[in-house]
Structure 1
Amino acid sequence: MARKVKRPTANPGSLGTACQLDGKPANPYAGTLKRLRDAFDSGRTRPAEFRIAQLQALSRFLKENRKLILDTLKKDMGKPAVEADVSEIVLCESEIKLALNNLHTWMKDEKVEKNLATQLDSAFIRKEPYGVALIIAPWNYPLNLLLVPLVGAIAAGNCVILKPSEISKNMEKVVAEVLPRYLDKNCFAIVVGGPQEATALLKNKFDYIFFTGSSRVGRIVMTAASKHLTPITLELGGKNPCYVDDDCDPQNVANRVAWFRFFNAGQTCVAPDFLLCSRETQERLLPALQRAVTQFYGKDPQHSPDLGRIISEKHFHRLRGLLGSGRVALGGQWDEQERYMAPTVLVGVQETDPVMQEEIFGPILPIVNVQSLDEAVAFINKREKPLALYAFSNNAKVVNEVLERTHSGNFGGNDGFMYMTLMSLPFGGVGLSGMGDYHGKFTFDTFSQRRGCLLRSPRLEMINQLRYPPYSPRHQRLLVWLVDHKLGFPCSIL
């Protein structure tokens, strides 16, 4: 079973500062890392049978603790059962099923094309685990964003240290206390705690780091990884634009935008952070958005069982401060005691307003007016490349033009983040919104080193005589010809 690693007693600090015990620098996770590295070096995680057993155990964790997980997500964020089930449990289960059904195929050596000089040899790519990986997850989807990377790391044959978010404190407790009952304790460990513990962890050498969170902390993680030249995946956030063309059905757009903007109370990294549309389209959208919100959450959304809550007082106060940007056209109500914020739409928003300076991560939707598609594209392209970008139009040419003329980690035409349900698509950011991708086989690839291999016969030395000195023009011509040409049929000899 995986082992829970308790928090060390450390002086206050933050990511990027040293963690100390009794006034002296210490490494409270050295023993845990040694245990996992010894297990990896022993070859324990390499057989397909071991990987399958751990994936099956992870599946049992989800099935046997489904009610506990749903109750815990409700306790942390007021997350409705449907949203929690679909976005947390079901997506994790789908990842596990895909890995179990395809693991043997994914693990197979990949044969490659050869030139004439190597036609008698065996050339292939072997997918090897990196070793001991660190997965750091955020609080907004505390199970999904922890376990989906874990599925790929297990499938690829790695040992893993998991660092769940301390902000979603109840889910952190479930992960730390329940998940270790299902996983091999020599190959997997869970570290709980906040910035101090994360700082102490990052001072260690890992073979791979997978981080999901803010760009600010992503820079800190990348700096720590660079000290050991550790490969890294960063799944970050950003301000995701959503362009709405004049040629659209305003109610259809409103229904779709409202659902994926206010899903999980807006605390979703791929949710649209602002709408771009003409003033005329804005006037058509506002009553449609009002109808959508009323249909989804009733006349008083505060009492709707289908609208979540803000994760913490700190985030609640930050969001409340953003309500001063532009003018509230819809919603705007809040209740600090419940950490409730109504689905809110802001109009008259300027590019310089606070709400346009940071990722919102809450149920607030600003509308910025543009007069044309060209102006919208220019507005998008002068900002950092977003994690996601959306375009709505009845005209497919408009959607395709937005796709062709912009850059983003992911793109959705006439809908929101349904692409997240497709494990056949890679998910990841670009530029400030991240690097690397995952989901489905892409996660397996992320946690696998592609090792190039060439196996030659110890015999037939006479074939090699051409490459040895003393060189001659004739040998040079033959060598160039052998290296530069390929045969249309495979041949290998070991």
Structure 2
Amino acid sequence: MEHSADGLEQLSVVRRCFESGKTRSLSWRKSQLKALQRLLVEREKDIFRVLKEDLGKHQAEAFRDEVGFLGKSVDYHIANLDKWVTPTKISIPLLGFPSTAQLVQEPLGVVLVLSTWNFPIALSLEPLIGAISAGNAVVIKPSELAPSSSAFLATNIPLFMDNEAVKVIQGGPDMGEKLLGHKWDKIFFTGSPRVGRVVMTAAAKHLTPVTLELGGKSPCIVDSISGSGDREVMVKRIIGGKWGSCNGQACLAIDYLLVEEKFTTTLVDLLKTTMKTLVSEPEHISKIVNKHHFERLCSLLDDPLVASSVVHGGSIDHEKMYIEPTILIDPPLNSEIMVREIFGPLLPIITLKKIEDSIDFIKGRPKPLVIYAFTNNEALKKKIVEETSSGGITFNDTLIQYVCDTIPFGGIGQSGFGKYHGKFSFDTFSHGKPVVRRSFLTEFSFRYPPWDEDKLQLLRYCYKFDYLRIILHYLGLKKY
């Protein structure tokens, strides 16, 4: 695919391909998903290489979060696609008797996927899987901040997939702006709230539906769980949820911890001990993506009150752009580190008088993508579910919700809107079109004027009781 503005000329090719009806074919959809399977298998080493070049990801992390995750997702779509595309029956009220209705899934059209740099392969191809399953044509604009991954997609997608229906266009923000100037049938964006607003503004011009995956400051509530074994597991999962996935540069990474004062020292000691085993060596965690983000993270520690709150780590290697995994206790709540999403290896701990205070703390801030909570207190779990709002909640683990095909992934409020993964991806890129078929067999005159009191009463009975539909249902005549 062209790497310049000339690539925009290819958009008409994608539009014509969709309008030809080719992408609606179930056999075509499956063939493209299987082609994507082959790409993931045959180019696995190349994917590992580009993720190492862009982000310093170890092969195991790259497989867990990107290659393996995508392979599992493709398998799930292929296994379930026949069922998803089958029209579903809908019941019809008495006023429509005798009628049948179906919900028919149709593709939206030509989709633009704007992906981001922290999972540059997964966050480009996972939306593609859903869009192809739903029968759309797709244009992907990968992030220029992961140049090796972007070039890999631009080179390999045309070799494996239908080059008329799936295009990769490389470029920076200027190319993104040009793409947003065109009319799309759906835009799927992963990135920051700031850019998300730009995407929405551009989409509004054409009334284009948008899915925004934005992230935010995802908190982790840590109750004083008893039992050394449970605590050891909990601490591993916290470390994995902060530094074990792109070194904290992930929308679903833990941003900060909420802990009771009396448990703080114990938790910090457990974290320090376990971090020596899991994330003490730079080769086991991803690198900071570039100099701009490295300097941004360093600036968070420039505030003397923030720097004085560091209780572990904090060392910085400017030449290697390395920041040691760092723990802070009670940095000022109005400091940048507690106002902005951190997106890096710094972990603030906010102490509370009692763990229940965590709910008001979370409610006083923008809605996060996910709330993590480690607790065996069922009453606390109930309060978190009922009294907070977030894209999702995960108890006693981190990140696991992301790899579940049966769970929708998405945000709410400032953390985004719309959802995907599994069937939810198919639905995101589909329109459920109701199709009603009515017979000429029967006609109800009370549906029409001239109106009188008898017709009004008949309409009341139809809407309130609908006895006929109930009777027909029990007689086995469910199609009515």
Verify same fold: TM over 0.5: yes
Whether the aligned pair in 1 keeps the contact of 2:157 and 2:167 (CA below 8 Å) is: no
Aligned 1:336-351 pairs, distance under 5 A: 336-351=318-333
CA–CA distance in structure 2, aligned partners of residues 225 and 88 of structure 1: 29
Query: How big is each residue's C-alpha offset from its partner over 1:328-380, in whole Å with a ceiling of 9 and x where there is no partner?
Result: 21111222232222111112312112211111111110111111133211111
Query: How big is each residue's C-alpha offset from its partner over 1:150-196, in whole Å with a ceiling of 9 and x where there is no partner?
Result: 11100000111101111011000000111111111111111100100
1:245 aligns with 2:259: no
Aligned 1:131-150 pairs, distance under 5 A: 131-150=109-128
- The residue that corresponds to 2:247 in the other structure is 265
1:255 to 233, 236, 244: 236
**Percent sequence identity over aligned pairs:** 37
CA–CA distance in structure 1, aligned partners of residues 311 and 459 of structure 2: 74
2:32 to 45, 54, 58: 54
- The residue that corresponds to 1:218 in the other structure is 196
- The residue that corresponds to 2:337 in the other structure is 355
CA–CA distance in structure 1, aligned partners of residues 290 and 446 of structure 2: 71
Alpha-carbon shift at residue 6 of structure 1 (Å): 2.4
1:105 aligns with 2:83: yes
- The residue that corresponds to 2:11 in the other structure is 33
- The residue that corresponds to 1:368 in the other structure is 350
- The residue that corresponds to 2:292 in the other structure is 314
Whether the aligned pair in 1 keeps the contact of 2:112 and 2:141 (CA below 8 Å) is: yes
1:467 aligns with 2:464: no
- The residue that corresponds to 2:406 in the other structure is 424
Query: How big is each residue's C-alpha offset from its partner over 1:90-109, in whole Å with a ceiling of 9 and x where there is no partner?
Result: 11111111110110100011
- The residue that corresponds to 1:25 in the other structure is none
Q: Residue 443 of structure 2: SS of its match in structure 1?
A: helix
Alpha-carbon shift at residue 392 of structure 1 (Å): 1.3
1:160 aligns with 2:138: yes
Aligned 1:288-327 pairs, distance under 5 A: 288-298=270-280, 301-302=281-282, 305-324=283-302, 325=306, 326-327=308-309
CA–CA distance in structure 2, aligned partners of residues 483 and 413 of structure 1: 43
Q: Residue 453 of structure 1: SS of its match in structure 2?
A: strand
1:380 aligns with 2:362: yes
CA–CA distance in structure 2, aligned partners of residues 480 and 394 of structure 1: 51
CA–CA distance in structure 1, aligned partners of residues 448 and 299 of structure 2: 74
2:157 to 166, 179, 187: 179
CA–CA distance in structure 2, aligned partners of residues 401 and 287 of structure 1: 29
Alpha-carbon shift at residue 203 of structure 1 (Å): 0.6
Alpha-carbon shift at residue 220 of structure 1 (Å): 0.5
CA–CA distance in structure 1, aligned partners of residues 225 and 168 of structure 2: 51
Moved more, 268-277 or 289-298: 289-298
Whether the aligned pair in 2 keeps the contact of 1:244 and 1:276 (CA below 8 Å) is: yes
Whether the aligned pair in 2 keeps the contact of 1:207 and 1:230 (CA below 8 Å) is: yes
Alpha-carbon shift at residue 406 of structure 1 (Å): 1.2
CA–CA distance in structure 2, aligned partners of residues 343 and 213 of structure 1: 23
Q: Across the two proteins, how many residue pairs are aligned to each other?
A: 465
- The residue that corresponds to 1:276 in the other structure is 258
CA–CA distance in structure 2, aligned partners of residues 381 and 185 of structure 1: 47
Alpha-carbon shift at residue 437 of structure 1 (Å): 0.6
Alpha-carbon shift at residue 431 of structure 1 (Å): 0.4
Alpha-carbon shift at residue 81 of structure 1 (Å): 0.8
- The residue that corresponds to 1:231 in the other structure is 209
- The residue that corresponds to 2:3 in the other structure is 6
Query: How big is each residue's C-alpha offset from its partner over 1:199-226, in whole Å with a ceiling of 9 and x where there is no partner?
Result: 0000111000110100000011011111
CA–CA distance in structure 1, aligned partners of residues 141 and 396 of structure 2: 36
Task: Give the partner amino acid of 1:166.
Answer: E
1:433 aligns with 2:433: no
CA–CA distance in structure 2, aligned partners of residues 382 and 476 of structure 1: 50
Q: Residue 463 of structure 1: SS of its match in structure 2?
A: coil
Alpha-carbon shift at residue 464 of structure 1 (Å): 5.3
Whether the aligned pair in 2 keeps the contact of 1:331 and 1:343 (CA below 8 Å) is: yes
Q: Residue 373 of structure 1: SS of its match in structure 2?
A: coil
Moved more, 476-485 or 236-245: 476-485
Whether the aligned pair in 1 keeps the contact of 2:211 and 2:419 (CA below 8 Å) is: yes
Alpha-carbon shift at residue 482 of structure 1 (Å): 4.0
The structure where helix makes up a greater share of residues is: 2
CA–CA distance in structure 1, aligned partners of residues 120 and 416 of structure 2: 19
Task: Give the partner amino acid of 1:231.
Answer: P
Structure 2 residues without counterparts, runs of 5 or longer: none
Query: How big is each residue's C-alpha offset from its partner over 1:35-80, in whole Å with a ceiling of 9 and x where there is no partner?
Result: 2222111111111101000100111110110000011101111101
Task: Give the partner amino acid of 1:69.
Answer: I
- The residue that corresponds to 2:176 in the other structure is 198
Hey, which bits of structure 1, 4+ residues long, moved more than 4 A? none
TM-score, scaled to structure 1: 0.90
Structure 1 residues without counterparts, runs of 5 or longer: 10-27
Q: Residue 487 of structure 1: SS of its match in structure 2?
A: helix
Task: Give the partner amino acid of 2:396.
Answer: N
Whether the aligned pair in 2 keeps the contact of 1:128 and 1:449 (CA below 8 Å) is: yes
1:125 aligns with 2:140: no
Alpha-carbon shift at residue 483 of structure 1 (Å): 5.0
Alpha-carbon shift at residue 319 of structure 1 (Å): 0.8
CA–CA distance in structure 2, aligned partners of residues 166 and 394 of structure 1: 44
